[in-house]
Structure 1
């Protein structure tokens, strides 16, 4: 199969605030703009495109985004999470606060963006 993910759209209450939240954690440049989207390009050519939601505020359906990062990048991201005093968890259900996990032969952490989307950073893909 030759299909590959090109981009995904994430609804938000403020597309640039959500995109900047992600770029700040990644240590990436400010998001770009393409049409109605605030765009965050990733290393593999995929973009995460944030769009202002057309539904009522508070009715955005939570999505989960997982980013595979290197060990060094994880250290940097986790440092930003801790320095920023952000709530974070070792699990998606938020039962292990202020911790990281060591699943799948790597490390992982979850944070929620301003709209409640679950952002996961992991150093080893699931097996």
Structure 2
């Protein structure tokens, strides 16, 4: 059997706000709540399960989404239209730019709980070009 990521829990101050925020950028629906989780199912079947922790400290994580060029354009347009800050790099040194690593395009932005999100059109290899 091939090993695949099935799901991960995304700890959030407000699960509904965080799930809706990301679902809007990705153009995906938020699934039906089950137990304490609000799910977003990605195209490869992996599930992001948003868990509300209220005012508890949320450790910032990084989530990267491989998208095609059309999805990237739509996602970036939603980011820009919403006035969300974005960067070409994970260190926030190139604001309002995108990167072109490996001949693709990428952009970083932050969700309401402080997680660093990334849209990318080409999977990264060993050394960025």
| TM-score in terms of structure 2 length | 0.92
8 Å Cα contact 1:23/1:31 also seen in 2: no
Query: What 5-or-longer segments of structure 1 have no aligned partner?
Result: none
How far 1:32 sits from its partner (Å)? 2.6
Which of 55, 76, 79 is matched with 1:78 structurally?
76
Three-state SS of the structure 2 residue aligned to 1:61 is: coil
Q: Is 1:36 aligned to 2:50, yes or no? A: no
Root-mean-square deviation over aligned CA pairs? 1.3
Whether contact under 8 Å (2:65, 2:118) holds in the other structure is yes
Instruction: Give the superposition deviation at 1:35.
Output: 1.2
* Matched length: 125
Alignment partner of 1:33: what SS? coil
- CA-to-aligned-CA distance 1:43-79 (integer Å, 9 cap, x gap): 111000010127xx26210000000000000000000
**1:20-43 CA distances to partner (integer Å, 9 max, x unpaired)?**
001000111234312110100011
Q: Which segments of 5 or more consecutive residues in structure 2 lack a partner in the other structure?
A: none
Distance 1:52 1:30 in 2: 15
Q: TM-score of the superposition, structure 1-length normalised?
A: 0.93
